[in-house]
């Protein structure tokens, strides 16, 4: 079975001179495999899969993919001729949380649009009527659900993936937004459970990333619906808030049908009862597997081999090593900063004096709205402290928490302005290939997804010539593989170039993987925060997690971090010896 995919945005016949037509053997024999009107169309029936057009296309717009024959007839939806195609659908289950785990661009959002009624499946054809759809899913668990969907008996509530757009489409105070969408009369309950009291009287545009995320979750939770879908609930949330949100969603699932997409494996493992894995080639095709138990599904995804389907979805497994905290760090100091204070919109940050070492990665953790992003902006020179004591004499490169594509240009032009050597073997090997940016070079920044834009922003930050690199929430919207590659990239960059990197993030494993020391933020969210002096990893991690009352264990098969159940034997044992993370 063979499918051809043409990126309609990249295909530009007038610029390329229609190279695919010139070299296609079928076209030369008069079989019209490739047809050019305004865009290329490839006949999948006539295409022999020689790959010549793929190699000759200067715009990198064509992909020819061979698929297992058993997928034929299981097409659910295709976006036009030679567009992305999705095979199979996840199955909503009443009284359970169904998770979807997979690489970005493999059809998770398409599946949810179909299940929520936003998109009618076309079964891979130009159009399909409901009788054909019912025949396709006859005898499956989805049959009754699709009939209800067709009859308008399924009402969906969706928490969007990208919350950054909320203040642009709704202006006003948080309370106004919550009351507008409180269809179940549970606004007070939602505010209390999600700890939003301090945000009620504030403007949406002034909320931190974590507060905005919890507002979006609250809005989805308060809608009166039959099907609830939460698309990435952990970005910008600290660990305690992630577990709180997981408990709220778990409670909702007892009464409603809930589905979730999540890349934080510890939270997905804790929250989901069943997991569907999506695999394929991003932007080309995606396959949804049958449901698996959460632990089995996550472990199979990490191993890259799906036992029931007998399919290898990745060449190498994602490995979770059990890191022991680094005992020694560089003694060479890049900069020292004094104690200082910053007051901003009713919030006050107090920072202890500290230093950043040459060649180290300094991890920053703490509860949301305790001043982490404010601290980074002060170091970057975007803000000034109240007494103007903080004056750094080093060159700084800064990746903000929220990323916006403010320029109308391609990724290649954008990166070349930062560093003309983007196609050198060093940059290709160390930056472009690990984060798969080579395939994005011709794309316009405004057309990139949140995850794609995040990868570009990380590389752009590290390509600038600087002494100190500041990365605020680099894992937001990245999938599991991309987070692992980003951690390795940042770590290698600091070690190989003797550069200092400060990373703010809420993914505990990511922070442990990259950091030499840990900086802890404490305080009362939204009121005051305290930036503590950097500590060694063991002391810092234990101090941080002890305040949250959370311990981690390791999965026996994959060694991935898993949150211990509160007051379980292992939880009590680890707390008794004071080892909340590094415990064997």
Instruction: Spell out the SS3 assignment of 511-559.
Output: HHHHCCEEEEEEEECCCEEEECCCEEHHHHHHHHHHHHCCCEEECCCCC
Contact between 22 and 29 (Cβ < 8 Å): no
Q: Which fold has domain 333-536?
A: Rossmann fold (3.40.50)
CATH 3.30.70.20 domain extents, the chain:
2-66
> How does strand 535-536 pair with strand 517-524?
antiparallel
CA dihedral of 209, 211, 214, 218, whole degrees rounded to 10: -130
Q: How confident is the model at residue 173 (pLDDT cuts 50, 70, 90)?
A: very high
Contact between 341 and 386 (Cβ < 8 Å): yes
Q: How confident is the model at residue 233 (pLDDT cuts 50, 70, 90)?
A: very high
Query: Average model confidence (pLDDT) for the chain?
Result: 90
| DSSP percent split of the chain into helix, strand, coil, nearest 5 | 35, 20, 45
Give the span between the Cα atoms of 238 and 473, in whole angstroms. 11
CA dihedral of 424, 425, 426, 430, whole degrees rounded to 10: 120
CATH 3.40.50.300 domain extents, the chain:
75-312, 333-536
Question: Cα–Cα distances in Å, from 344 out to 56, 378, 401, 523, 528?
Answer: 56, 12, 17, 15, 10
Contacts of 563 (CB under 8 A, 6+ apart): 243, 266, 267, 269, 270, 550, 551, 552
Say which range, 26-30, 251-255, 421-425, 568-572, has the weakest mean pLDDT. Answer: 26-30
The class level of CATH for 2-66 reads alpha beta
The pLDDT tens digits for 487-519 are 999 999 999 999 999 999 988 888 988 999 999
The pLDDT tens digits for 61-84 are 888 877 766 687 889 999 988 889
What residues pair up with 173 in beta bridges, in sequence order? 203
For residue 324, what pLDDT is reported?
Answer: 61
The pLDDT of 21-28, averaged and rounded, is 83
Give the span between the Cα atoms of 465 and 278, in whole angstroms. 39
CATH architecture of the domain formed by 75-312: 3-Layer(aba) Sandwich (3.40)
Give the span between the Cα atoms of 349 and 372, in whole angstroms. 9
Contact between 574 and 551 (Cβ < 8 Å): yes
Contact between 274 and 294 (Cβ < 8 Å): yes
| pLDDT exceeds cutoff 80 at 38 | no
Contact between 46 and 38 (Cβ < 8 Å): no
* Short-list 222, 164, 172, CA closest to 193: 222
Show the beta-strand stretches assigned E in 31-154. Answer: 34-36, 40-42, 62-66, 75-78, 85-87, 97-102
Contact between 236 and 401 (Cβ < 8 Å): yes
The pLDDT tens digits for 391-448 are 899 999 999 988 888 778 999 999 999 999 998 999 999 999 999 999 889 889 988 8
The pLDDT tens digits for 236-292 are 888 889 989 999 999 999 999 999 999 888 889 989 999 999 999 888 899 999 999
User: If 0-12 CB within 10 Å is exposed, 13-18 middle and 19+ buried, where does residue 308 land?
Assistant: exposed
* Short-list 15, 57, 67, CA closest to 38: 15
The pLDDT tens digits for 141-172 are 899 999 999 999 999 999 988 888 888 888 88
The pLDDT of 180-195, averaged and rounded, is 94
For residue 318, what pLDDT is reported?
Answer: 82
CA dihedral of 423, 424, 427, 430, whole degrees rounded to 10: 120
Give the span between the Cα atoms of 186 and 547, in whole angstroms. 29
The pLDDT tens digits for 308-342 are 888 888 888 887 766 566 666 778 999 999 999 99
């Amino acid at each position: 079975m063979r499918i051809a995919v043409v990126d309609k945005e990249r295909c530009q016949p007038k610029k390329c001179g229609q190279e695919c037509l010139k070299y296609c053997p079928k076209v030369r024999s008069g079989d019209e495999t490739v047809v050019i009107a305004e865009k290329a169309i490839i006949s999948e029936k006539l295409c022999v899969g020689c790959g010549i057009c793929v190699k000759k296309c200067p715009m990198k717009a064509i992909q020819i993919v061979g698929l297992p024959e058993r997928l034929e007839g299981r097409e659910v939806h295709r976006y036009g001729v030679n567009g992305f195609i999705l095979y199979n659908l996840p199955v909503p289950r009443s009284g359970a949380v169904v998770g979807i785990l997979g690489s970005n661009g493999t059809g998770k959002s398409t599946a949810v649009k179909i299940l929520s009624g936003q998109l009618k499946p076309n079964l891979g054809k130009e159009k399909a009527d409901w009788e054909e759809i019912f025949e396709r899913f006859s005898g499956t668990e989805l049959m009754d659900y699709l009939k209800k969907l067709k009859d308008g008996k399924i009402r969906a509530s969706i928490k969007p993936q990208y919350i950054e757009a909320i203040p642009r489409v709704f202006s006003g105070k948080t309370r106004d937004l919550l009351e507008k969408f409180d269809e179940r009369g549970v606004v007070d309950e939602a505010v209390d459970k999600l700890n939003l009291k301090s945000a009620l009287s504030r403007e949406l545009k002034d909320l931190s990333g974590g507060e905005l995320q919890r507002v979006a979750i609250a809005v989805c939770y308060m809608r009166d619906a039959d099907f609830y879908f939460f698309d990435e609930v952990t970005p910008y949330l600290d660990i305690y808030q992630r577990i709180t949100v997981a408990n709220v969603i778990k409670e909702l699932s007892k009464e409603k049908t809930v589905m979730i997409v999540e890349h934080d494996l510890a939270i997905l493992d804790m929250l989901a009862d069943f997991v569907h894995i999506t695999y394929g080639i991003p932007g080309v095709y995606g396959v949804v597997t049958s449901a698996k138990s959460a632990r089995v599904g996550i472990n199979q995804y990490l191993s890259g081999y799906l036992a029931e389907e007998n399919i290898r979805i990745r060449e190498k497994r994602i490995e979770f090593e059990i890191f022991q905290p680094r005992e020694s760090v560089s003694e060479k100091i890049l900069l020292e900063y004094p104690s200082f204070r910053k007051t901003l919109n009713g919030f006050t940050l107090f920072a202890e004096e500290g230093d950043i070492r040459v060649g180290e990665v300094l991890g920053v953790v703490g509860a949301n709205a305790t001043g982490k992003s404010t601290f980074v902006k002060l170091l970057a020179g975007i803000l000034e402290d109240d007494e103007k004591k903080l004056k750094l004499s080093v060159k700084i490169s800064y990746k903000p928490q929220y990323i916006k594509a403010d320029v109308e240009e391609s990724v290649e032009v954008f990166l070349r302005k930062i560093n003309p050597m983007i196609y050198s073997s060093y940059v290709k090997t160390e930056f472009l290939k690990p984060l798969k940016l080579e395939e994005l070079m011709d794309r316009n920044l405004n057309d990139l997804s949140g995850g794609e834009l995040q990868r570009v922003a990380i590389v752009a930050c590290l390509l600038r010539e600087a002494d100190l690199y500041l990365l605020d929430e680099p894992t937001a919207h990245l999938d599991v593989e991309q987070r692992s590659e980003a951690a390795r990239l940042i770590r290698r960059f600091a070690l190989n170039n003797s550069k200092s990197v400060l990373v703010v993030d809420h993914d505990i494993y990511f922070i442990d993987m990259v950091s030499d020391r840990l900086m802890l933020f404490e305080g009362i969210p939204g009121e005051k925060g305290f930036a503590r002096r950097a500590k060694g990893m063991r002391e810092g991690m234990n101090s941080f997690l002890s305040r949250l009352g959370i311990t981690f264990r390791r999965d026996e098969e994959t060694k991935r971090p898993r949150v211990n159940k509160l007051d379980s034997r292992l939880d009590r044992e680890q707390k008794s010896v004071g080892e909340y993370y590094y415990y064997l």
